[in-house]
Structure 1
Amino acid sequence: MQKLIEANLYRSDLIPINGKLVERYNKCLKTLGFKQTKLTKFNIDGIGWSPEIAEERKDDHYLNHGDANPHGIIITPLQKNKPIYLPYHSFDRELMKQVFFTYENEIKDITRDSAICLDFDQKIDVFYNPLDILKYNKVIVSFRLIEDLDKIQEQQYQLIEEFNRNYNFIEEDIQKKLLQSAKRYGDLRNRTLKLKDLEFETNSFYTRSFKGVYLLRDFIKPILIFEDIDTYKEAIKDTEYDVLIYHVAQPELMEKLRDYIIIQCDLEAIVNTPKYKRIKKFELAQSLETPDHPIKEILTNTSLFKSYLNKLDMEVRIRVMSVELYLEKLERSNVYKLEDIVDQSLYFALHKPHSSLSAQNHDLVNKLLINIAPKDVLFLYWYDKEAFYRAYDSWDESLREWVIDIIRNNI
């Protein structure tokens, strides 16, 4: 990962937490019902998740009480617009944008000497079966301050009211209580410490619940797409809901997505795009066993690329070039069938979200497509960083260099 780190492509926008902020973070963990960290310094992202604490706990989702109860922590206003590196839902970034848009000034004020615990409540205490995902309609974001600072504020108001009543201002006991509260918490009278719940509407989304599920809800009929085969097998037993259910590896899924005008693929158009060139080069790189040249050099030098392409076994060569072979044959006759010539996974990788989709659904479908056919290294980095990092570990060092150049040239 060192080269990714040096290229600022590996969790490069985290916020360092140390000193007093560690103490506040631990108070948030305790408030939310989690074990406190023993680390004295760590980093957090936009939702308060820390890779170091996740490593300490051996649990990437240490801010969750089960699949149905995720949480967040705001400890500094610097979290505004920061990336969320391991979102539990595809809408987490938009949700946090709404939180900061609504309460930016209050967050700046509160985090001067406190921190905010976030509860994301979809009115489901626990999931019992995979189709419970369909109940996800909205998320209520509620806010809790560490040490109940908002309640301390109410106590100060009550003390002041009591102090001003009749001749109570001469009562030493009331004076003492006021002074003690002011010394410990400061004067809280003019601060906004009560944050009303926010309601966030959900539509189509991805969730890590049940080992990964896509819910496409904005189309002819709801579609549930499962990443885990066992969860999929359990889901198809449920006949209560009128919903289409697929496993992510089913070829029929792509056909249904095209029928529902969710995805599209124009081979004649895409063959001239950078996306196609990236995918073809990556496909060649994956097919090379013991090249005499560095892979980066092979992929960036046209002569070397052609040379190694011609050295491949005929079957592999046809697979790598199957799209162009199909288009060439199509110019001569329309009797040729795409499925007989074009490699299926390559064809799937060349699809894109339909132009009619909203921006939010566009990103979601791109994530789904890269999950189905992870052949575009740039889109894999953009839409599924964890999968990208896992794949990166398995690549040749020279291939890694080529991939880093591809990403840096497209930022």
Structure 2
Amino acid sequence: MELLAEHDLINGQLLEIAEPHLIERYNRALEAFGLKPTGLDRFRIDMTGFSPEIAEELSDPEYLDPNAVNRRFIILSPAQEGLPVIHTSFSNTGSLMHAFFDANRRAIHAVTIRDVLYGEIEEDVVKVSDIEDLLSIQEVTFNVLSADDMLGKADELRKLSDRLISVPNAWRDDAMIERMVELAQLTGDIRKNALVPDQVVFRHDAFWSGHFGGIFVFIDDRTTTVICDPKAPGFRRSRPWQVSYIALNDHHRILEFLQRTGRIELPRASWIEGSGYLNHRTDMVLSDLIRRYDPEAPFDWLDAIWLQTWIHRNAKAVAEDGTYPFLQSAARKIAADGEFPLDDADSAHRFLLVRAKPDHEDRWLVSRLISVLVPSDFVSRFVFDKQGFYAAYEAYDQAFRAHAVKTLLDTYLRDKRAFRHRLYGFQEGRIHA
């Protein structure tokens, strides 16, 4: 993973914490969680406050996610809102954190001037034993605390202020006035700086969970659809009258579901020709073919002429695999007819030609699912399913690791937003993955 770290492809774009007062506040949050305080004089954190350096120091990558549910968070600065989430068991942790920052921006700014916010994103379950435990999560509550009890003091001052206004002769209570002065010196003017979060309950929408090898949960008006390994505990047993279950290897049913619910774009010239989508898929397929059939190939200087020569020399292997000829045929069909009927392709190839509908609210989740089903496209896997990419990367040899890093630097990392817009049609604000 050293090469990935060198180019910020893992644990990148984090906020460095080196100021002694911020480290002290972070330690107070760790101690509140029953964890050992850090001895580091600098470390980095993501949006939730997770630090890869502290995880290594504690020998516990799950120190903020102990049961893979009820995720902990530590907020030292409003600047965390713009950071990625690099370690989570749920794909929507980032969107929930964004919602919390959006709803409570004034309080977060005010409290973190003097204190640290920490707590848990509480669900209705404390441990996930089967699929039903995941499906029972309808909403989450941010249980928010502060090390110096700034929130409690602000709440106390607010109540005393209300009493001063509403109770006759309350202004004669010298002890109460003295307490209000004492609290105001600590909290400031709460009329201008709201210290108590306004909203802490948020809906738990469609998500991916890392439990049981990875589970996709899609929510529609009258039904919930679960896509996962059929060996996952609770598959087809949890609420079968309300939940539809699809095996992750059942490409036909998955595509039918995504198409029926309007979550994907079918292969049409209107978006394929301008996006370069098939060219990208072809490049990824060829790289994967070479990796599997010719691992000694010079990945550091592949070009069009070399690739064509390799294809001719390995025509039998290319034909037996069938993916490259299929993409070439699909490109010709789309150029001639403006579309490609998916019924003309076998189920293993269909996901090479579709993408998530760019304006659908589940576009990130659908893109993640497609990237899992098209593992040869390591660029899309990196964009939408970093856990899956890192697992695949570990199995690559050194030459292909270097090739993957160079490809990511030359494509996605050159301009992430432009790349996502061109290839996947995304017009997005914040990133949730």
* Residue 279 in structure 1 maps to residue 284 in structure 2: yes
Distance in structure 2 (CA, Å) of the matches to 1:165 and 1:327: 81
Give how far 1:366 is off: 0.3
Indicate the residue corresponding to 2:352 in structure 1.
Answer: 349
| Counterpart in the other structure of 2:314 | 312
For residue 404 of structure 1, report the CA deviation from its aligned partner: 3.0
Q: Distance in 1 between matches of 2:197 and 2:105?
A: 11
Separation of aligned partners in 1, 2:410 and 2:39: 35
Cα deviation, 1:184-241, whole Å, max 9, x if unaligned, reads: x4757664322234332233221234443211112774210125x5325x42234554
Q: Residues 34, 345 of structure 1: CA spacing in aligned structure 2 closer, same or farther, 3 A cutoff?
A: farther
1:16-35 paired onto structure 2 within 5 Å: 16-18=16-18, 19-31=20-32, 33-35=33-35
How far apart, in 2, do the equivalents of 1:221 and 1:189 lie? Answer: 45
Match of 1:226 in 2: 228
The answer to whether the Cα contact below 8 Å between 2:92 and 2:207 also exists between their aligned partners in 1 is yes
Measure, in 2, the Cα distance between the counterparts of 1:4 and 1:239. Answer: 42
CA distance in 2, matches of 1:180, 1:330: 77
Residue 410 of structure 2 corresponds to which residue in structure 1? 405
Q: Distance in 2 between matches of 1:241 and 1:58?
A: 43
1:295 is aligned, of 296, 299, 305, to: 299
Q: Per the alignment, in what secondary structure is the counterpart of residue 235 of structure 1?
A: coil
Deviation string, structure 1 residues 84-108 (Cα, Å, up to 9, x no partner): 1223322222222222222223212
User: Which residue of the partner structure matches residue 419 of structure 2?
Assistant: none
- Cα displacement (A) at 1:304: 0.5
Q: What's the TM-score, normalizing by structure 1?
A: 0.80
Partner of 2:37: 37
Q: Structure 1's 37 and 275: CA in aligned 2 closer, same or farther, altered over 3 A?
A: farther
Alpha-carbon separation, structure 2, partners of 1:294 and 1:365 = 34
Q: Is the 8 A contact 2:48 2:80 kept in 1?
A: yes
Task: State, as a whole percentage, how many aligned pairs show the same letter.
Answer: 19
The answer (yes or no) to whether the contact 1:203–1:218 under 8 Å persists in 2 is no
Matched with 1:208 is 210
With over 3 angstroms needed to count, the CA separation of the structure-2 counterparts of 1:128 and 1:241, relative to structure 1, is farther
Query: What is the deviation of 1:120?
Result: 1.7
Q: Does the C-alpha gap of structure 1 residues 153 and 255 become closer, same or farther in structure 2, counting only changes over 3 Å?
A: closer
The root-mean-square deviation of aligned C-alpha atoms, in Å, is 3.7
The equivalent residue for 1:242 is 242
Q: Is the 8 A contact 2:103 2:198 kept in 1?
A: no
Residues 255 and 304 from structure 1, CA distance in 2 versus in 1: closer, same or farther, beyond 3 angstroms? same
- Aligned partners of 1:98 and 1:264: how far apart in 2? 28
Q: Which of 1 and 2 has higher RCO (CA within 8 Å, sep 6+)?
A: 2
Q: 8 Å contact 1:63–1:72 — kept in the other structure?
A: yes
Q: Which consecutive residues of structure 2, in runs of 5 or more, have no partner in the other structure?
A: 165-169, 335-340, 417-433
Contact 2:16 2:44 survives alignment (8 Å): yes
Tell me if the contact between 2:371 and 2:384 (Cα under 8 Å) persists in the aligned partners.
yes
Q: Which deviates the most, 364-373 or 153-162?
A: 153-162
CA distance in 1: counterparts of 2:332 and 2:232, whole angstroms:
42
2-structure distance, mates of 1:6, 1:388: 17
Q: Runs of 5+ in structure 1 lacking a partner?
A: 332-336
**Cα distance change of structure 1 residues 189 and 108 upon mapping to structure 2, 3 Å threshold:** closer
Are the aligned partners of 2:25 and 2:147 in contact in 1 as well (CA < 8 Å)? yes
The AA in structure 1 aligned to 2:299 is I
Q: Distance in 1 between matches of 2:50 and 2:239?
A: 37
Larger Rg: 1
CA–CA distance in structure 1, aligned partners of residues 174 and 327 of structure 2: 90
The corresponding residue for 1:148 is 149
**1:34/1:303 CA distance change after superposition, 3 Å:** same
Cα displacement (A) at 1:325: 5.9
State the distance in 1 between where 2:313 and 2:64 align.
51
For residues 3-402 of structure 1, what are the structure 2 equivalents within 5 Å?
3-18=3-18, 19-31=20-32, 33-40=33-40, 41-153=42-154, 166=172, 168=174, 185=186, 191-218=193-220, 221-227=223-229, 230-231=231-232, 234-238=234-238, 240-258=240-258, 260=260, 261-266=262-267, 270=272, 273=277, 274-291=279-296, 293-298=297-302, 301-312=303-314, 314-319=316-321, 320-324=323-327, 326-327=329-330, 345-354=348-357, 358=360, 360-393=361-394, 394-397=396-399, 398-400=402-404, 401-402=406-407
| Residues 44/202 of structure 1: CA separation in 2 closer, same or farther (3 Å cut) | same
Shift of 1:16: 1.2
Distance 1:318 1:230 in 2: 31
CA contact (8 A) 1:370 1:379 kept: yes
